[in-house]
Structure 1
Amino acid sequence: MTTSRGIDVSAHQGPQDWAEHKRDGVTFAFAKASEGQHSKDSRFATHIAGAKAAGLVVGGYHFAWPNQSAAAEAANYIAAVKGHAGPGFVHWLDLERYSDGRNYRGRSAAQIKAWAAAWIAAVEQAFPRQRVGIYTSAADLAAGHVPSGVPLWYPAYPGNSVDTYAEAEKRAQPKPSGRSPVFWQFVGSPLDRSVCYMSATDLRLWAGAGTTTEGGKPKYEPYPGTAFFMSGKQPALGKSSPVFTAMGRRLVAVGCGRYKQGPGPKLGQADVDSYEAYQRSLGYTGADAKWPPGPTSWSKLHVPNV
């Protein structure tokens, strides 16, 4: 599977040689921006400026306290990243329990999930057409803390058997609770390192970086029409187009991939199954959730938050 490489940093890391990271093959970098209702990371601006100057895909993350106000925490994060979150900036909610449980204390699984959904909605509203996802653990996924249809950045550390990018890239993509993460953080020391299950080019497209704009909005593949996806009354299985590869990668990115391998340029049953899963995640039921894609769901998949 095609991947790209990246790191994440916070105030715990000192100054970084971002040009050296790029020479080492790093294509993305995420930095801690805030935590809770008031705390902001002291090195966030420096980290982001350096990563941007090196030409990396960048983003920020907020460490969550679900037993506090979602609105206040979203406002804290928004204020922290507002001057840095231009086109192609990716936003992450870091949803993980402190070892003593102090940030989850007094909250049920349903309440944590609702809190996460509220934080995401507030950030999506503040930054239209930018990606907003969740960094979270297998335990949080199993507990039902994560809303469906949200891009996932997943930490899991196999140890010495996977402590380099090359070793991580040889491993199968993790499937925690049946979800397909967009990013896998495979090591946490001496620096957090992740792989993304997209090429560097596809990652930039996914993040909204490097795209042309139309009326100030990112321009992605336009909806090609119902006939493009069909052969008579049946899916056009076997039809070849790069549109299907891009579509499949985005379906994987939002956690709706049903692929054992691929996706590829030829339309297959896994593409159909994946897109129908995506339409169900949007709330469609019955015939409305069936293939082919419609213009509304296509726009939501290709241009976030429409």
Structure 2
Amino acid sequence: MATCRGMDVSSYQGIQDWAALRKSGLVFAFAKATEGRRTVDPKYATHIKGILAAGLVGGSYHFAWPNQDPKAEAAHYIATVRPYAKAGYTHWLDLERYSDGRNYAGRNNAEIRAWAATWINAVKVAFPGQRVGIYTSGDDIAAGRVPADVPLWYPAYPWGEAPYSRAEAAPQPRPSGRAPIIWQFTSTPVDRSIAYLSEADFRAWAGGTAPHNEEPDMQPTDQIAVPDWVKAAWPKDKGLADGKMQVQTALASGYAHSRKAAEQTTAILAQLGAQAATIDKLVNALGAGGGLTAAEIKAAAEAGAEAALAKLGEALQP
């Protein structure tokens, strides 16, 4: 799976040589901007100016206090980042519990999830066409505190300090079955992450032009079971050629657009497989005195298959 490299910083990190980091292969970098209703990270402006000047994909994050007003926190973040949030900028809600729980106090899981959705929607309205995602833990995801349809930046440190190459060689984590677009795999000596897109695709994603643009849980096509009869039939059988080519093209594009589309793909391909088997059985039954010709039976079955393929083609549109 293609990946690209990134990191994030806050006031705890010193001034970075972003140009050198870019030359070393870094593609994206995010800086803490705000926390709560009033706090601004004192190094945000310095960090983000350096990130953008180096030509990295830039972004910023806001540390959430879900027991405060989400609209007030969103307004605070929006005002702080607006001077820097040009095309291709990304925004992240840092949803994580303080060790003493003070920022979650008095809120249940459903209320925290609703809070996060309100903040994210407010930032989307303020920056149309820009990506707004969430940085959060496996515990928060498992507890149901995270909205489903947002890009996920997931922190998990299985090795402590580790080079990018180790994360790139490891399987993509899937907390509670979700596939993050970014994995923060170490915080030593700095927070390092990889994104599960090539540099070109990540830049396109950040710019809002990638085809898989609104679904965070992208599923590689090698995880979709395609029956052997479909693979064998693609180069022939002209009656279904156009519909099957739609499916082939969508699968070959690299990703099904979402887990939902992948599930639809598998279900409809199974339906087509059953229809193909039925065709064979009916044709064979003609020898026992059926009332239709083989051509008539096949035409009727193909009509149903065409309808299924049309439905699949619509489901796979971006």
For the superposition of Structure 1 and Structure 2, which TM-score range results when normalised by the shorter chain? 0.7 to 0.9
Equivalent pair of 2:264/2:315 in contact (CA under 8 Å): no
Q: Deviations over 1:169-202 (max 9, x none)?
A: 0000000000000000000121000000000000
Instruction: Give the drift of 1:46.
Output: 1.1
Residue in 1 aligned with 2:247?
237
Root-mean-square deviation (CA), in Å? 2.6
Alignment of 1:207-226 (within 5 A): 207-208=206-207
Aligned mates of 2:188, 2:245 — CA distance in 1: 47
Aligned mates of 2:85, 2:33 — CA distance in 1: 11
Alignment of 1:110-189 (within 5 A): 110-160=110-160, 163-189=162-188
Q: Deviations over 1:14-47 (max 9, x none)?
A: 1110011112211000000000011011111111
1:293 aligned to 2:286? no
Secondary structure class of the residue paired with 1:128 = coil
Residue in 2 aligned with 1:272?
265
Equivalent pair of 1:185/1:193 in contact (CA under 8 Å): yes
Equivalent pair of 2:67/2:105 in contact (CA under 8 Å): yes
More relative contact order in 1 or in 2 (CA 8 Å, sep 6+)?
1
Equivalent pair of 1:237/1:269 in contact (CA under 8 Å): no
Instruction: Give the drift of 1:236.
Output: 3.3
Q: Deviations over 1:40-88 (max 9, x none)?
A: 1111111111111111000010000000000000001001100000000
Residue in 1 aligned with 2:85?
85
Alignment of 1:66-77 (within 5 A): 66-77=66-77
Higher helix fraction (1 or 2)? 2
1:203 aligned to 2:197? no
Equivalent pair of 1:8/1:192 in contact (CA under 8 Å): yes
Q: Deviations over 1:229-285 (max 9, x none)?
A: x9566673334787x23xx27x3xxxx348xxxxxxxxx9678359xxxxxxxxxxx
Aligned mates of 2:313, 2:263 — CA distance in 1: 13
Aligned mates of 2:251, 2:116 — CA distance in 1: 37
Aligned mates of 2:250, 2:139 — CA distance in 1: 39
Aligned mates of 1:271, 1:235 — CA distance in 2: 17
Secondary structure class of the residue paired with 1:88 = coil
Alpha-carbon distance change, 231 to 124 in structure 1, aligned in 2, over 3 angstroms: farther
Secondary structure class of the residue paired with 1:113 = helix
Alpha-carbon distance change, 144 to 220 in structure 1, aligned in 2, over 3 angstroms: closer
Residue in 1 aligned with 2:300?
none
With normalisation by structure 2, the TM-score equals 0.72
Where do 5+ consecutive residues of structure 2 fail to align? 212-239, 268-307
Aligned mates of 1:219, 1:154 — CA distance in 2: 23
Secondary structure class of the residue paired with 1:42 = coil
Paired AA for residue 72 in structure 2: A
Alignment of 1:89-104 (within 5 A): 89-104=89-104
Alpha-carbon distance change, 112 to 269 in structure 1, aligned in 2, over 3 angstroms: closer
Larger radius of gyration: 2
Equivalent pair of 1:235/1:292 in contact (CA under 8 Å): no
Paired AA for residue 84 in structure 2: H
Secondary structure class of the residue paired with 1:293 = helix
With normalisation by structure 1, the TM-score equals 0.75
Instruction: Give the drift of 1:220.
Output: 6.2
